[in-house]
Amino acid sequence: MRVSTFNIFQSQLNNITGKTAQANDMMSKLSSGLRIQTAADDPVAMNSVVNYKNELRKIEQYSKNIDLAENRLRREESALSMGENLLQQSKEILLKANNGTFTQDERDAYATELKNRIDELVDLANSRDEFGQYIFGGFQTDNPPFTLQPDGSVTYNGDGGQRQMQIGDSVKVATNHDGRLVFGQVPNPRGDFTAGYQLTADNREHNLRLDSAVISERGDFADLQPYTLTFADNGGVLEVGLADKNGDPLLDQNGDPVPPQPYQAGQAIKAGGITLVLSGEARAGDQITLDANRADGGGQDHVDVFDSLNRALAWLQQDNNTPSGQSELTEVLDELDAVSSHFTRVRADTGNRLLRLDNQKTNHEDMSLTLEKVRGGMEDLDYARAVGELNQAMVALQATQTMFGKVQGMSLFNYI
């Protein structure tokens, strides 16, 4: 059979080209550190590697979301902690000012100090995160959620929205508490009403106070507030009567007027769907006003932080070394205690969210390590094996090149 010189040369060149490509491929893998560079290298493994990489990219994004959520929650936690400190300072101001020997000028100085604490708390309620968004505004993050009015009251301009961050395929975490919840929904320590005191000037060892006032029977509650508790002497027996805003006695469950009854500290008084508990010493002529400050018939089971502080400020601005003033002080201090406890509860919820972030972050780190290990086992190059294969390819290439050189030099003229 005749074999042309061209076919011999072409076969050798193809062999050299193939060996060269094989060597180059091995050097490329050694350079990149990857066993699979294209789908042609291992189609099945390449599909798995792509899926693992997509999962790793998702985990990376979730980790970034966790960092962002953690920053926001820690700023909120810090603001609440500072708020607790401001409330404690406000209580201390009230207790220091509760001195019967102080002049009005001295009380005014304490009032100015308390006003500064209120201003600081308003500024704290308008805290912003690292992106300049207001923390306590709900979904309204571009404008200050709280506005201090000329009369000293504070209005809320935000909403009740709760922003959430995706930190897992099916896991979200809220990154804020809205300002209405934090500063406007403090559980009322009295229940459903706020008490106002108009007591006689008689000195007493234990101040008269309202311990609780709740709407116990909604069906019997007519919401004819403000209600008035009046203490009167009836033949040497101190009695207390409860009337509505029209001065009419409240009714019992049968629809009959509830007559005045002997006052006994700690004993429940029931009338008009309301249950009251009083403590302390009462005198004939004392009056207590109950007001829910709401007209929806549901009572007032929450108080506002800034309303409580403004109530404290009003207490400082007048002489309250009287039975009424001392009972009022008790009310104010109890409200501030309730506010402080409320802040602590919100902080605890924030802490739970931070713990959830930490747990999810740990899960992502563990999963990322597992996926990276599996991906590496499929995609990463075995350097020892690759070096051996490269050496084999180089030896084969050199042998092929040597053979081609000898074949190229062969000629019949060399044998004539």
Looking at the structure, do residues 165 and 251 belong to the same domain, yes or no? no
Dump pLDDT digits (tens) for 263-288: 999 999 999 999 999 999 999 999 99
Residues 71, 38: Cα–Cα separation, whole Å: 41
Are 117 and 86 spatial neighbours (Cβ–Cβ below 8 Å)?
Answer: yes
Residue 400 is predicted with a pLDDT of 59
Residues contacting 415, CB < 8 A, separation 6+: none
Residues 34, 260: Cα–Cα separation, whole Å: 92
Residue 330 lies in a domain: no
Question: CA 403, 409, 411: angle at the middle one, nearest 5?
Answer: 125
Dump pLDDT digits (tens) for 393-412: 565 556 555 655 555 555 55
Tokens of 83: 């708020």
Distance of CA 17 to the CA centre of its chain: 66
Instruction: From 32, 85, 64, select the one nearest 347 (Cα to Cα).
Output: 85
Q: How many other CB atoms sit within 10 Å of the CB of residue 49?
A: 21
Looking at the structure, do residues 4 and 101 belong to the same domain, yes or no? no
Are 93 and 193 spatial neighbours (Cβ–Cβ below 8 Å)?
Answer: no
Q: What does each C-alpha distance from 19 to 39, 70, 145, 239 come to in angstroms?
A: 21, 56, 73, 112
Residues 78, 100: Cα–Cα separation, whole Å: 37
Dump pLDDT digits (tens) for 36-95: 555 455 565 556 666 767 888 899 999 999 999 999 999 999 999 999 999 999 999 999
DSSP summary character for residue 190: T
Looking at the structure, do residues 136 and 182 belong to the same domain, yes or no? yes
Looking at the structure, do residues 248 and 148 belong to the same domain, yes or no? no
Looking at the structure, do residues 208 and 164 belong to the same domain, yes or no? no
Dump pLDDT digits (tens) for 204-236: 889 999 999 999 988 888 888 899 999 999 999
Looking at the structure, do residues 88 and 105 belong to the same domain, yes or no? yes
Residue 396 lies in a domain: yes
Q: What does each C-alpha distance from 10 to 20, 240, 378, 408 come to in angstroms?
A: 15, 120, 38, 11
Provide the number of structural domains found in the chain.
3
Of 250, 285, 300, the domain-final residue: 300
59: CATH: 1.20.1330.10
Looking at the structure, do residues 238 and 357 belong to the same domain, yes or no? no
- φ and ψ at 230, to 5 degrees? -120, 130
Q: Which residue has the higher pLDDT, 172 or 388?
A: 172
Residue 38 lies in a domain: no
Round the average pLDDT of the chain to a whole number and report it: 84
Beta bridge partners of 262: 239
Q: What does each C-alpha distance from 338 to 98, 107, 156, 161, 180 come to in angstroms?
A: 20, 24, 20, 24, 16
Residue 416 lies in a domain: yes
Looking at the structure, do residues 29 and 4 belong to the same domain, yes or no? yes
Q: What does each C-alpha distance from 383 to 35, 91, 372, 374, 378 come to in angstroms?
A: 9, 71, 18, 17, 14
Above 90 in pLDDT, residue 357? yes
Residue 45 lies in a domain: no
Residue 109 lies in a domain: yes
Above 80 in pLDDT, residue 3? no
Confidence of residue 1 (pLDDT cuts 50, 70, 90): very low
What is the pLDDT averaged over residues 193-207?
90
Residues 83, 221: Cα–Cα separation, whole Å: 36
Dump pLDDT digits (tens) for 120-131: 999 999 999 988
Confidence of residue 360 (pLDDT cuts 50, 70, 90): very high
Residue 169 lies in a domain: yes
Half-sphere exposure of 160 (CA within 13 A, CB side): 3
Looking at the structure, do residues 72 and 173 belong to the same domain, yes or no? yes
Above 80 in pLDDT, residue 190? yes
> Maximum Cα–Cα distance for the chain, whole Å?
157
Residue 111 is predicted with a pLDDT of 94
User: Which residues form the domain of 350?
Assistant: 55-187+337-366
Above 70 in pLDDT, residue 356? yes
Half-sphere exposure of 64 (CA within 13 A, CB side): 5
Looking at the structure, do residues 182 and 215 belong to the same domain, yes or no? no
Looking at the structure, do residues 63 and 181 belong to the same domain, yes or no? yes
Dump pLDDT digits (tens) for 284-336: 999 999 988 665 556 678 899 999 999 999 999 988 889 999 999 999 999 99
Looking at the structure, do residues 62 and 152 belong to the same domain, yes or no? yes
Dump pLDDT digits (tens) for 124-182: 999 999 889 999 999 999 999 999 999 999 999 999 999 999 999 989 999 999 999 99
Residue 262 lies in a domain: yes
Confidence of residue 30 (pLDDT cuts 50, 70, 90): low
SS3 for 131-166 is CCCECCCCCCCCCCCEEECCCCCEEECCCCCCCEEE
Residues 415, 326: Cα–Cα separation, whole Å: 132
Residue type at position 125: A
DSSP element (H, E) containing 171: strand 171-174
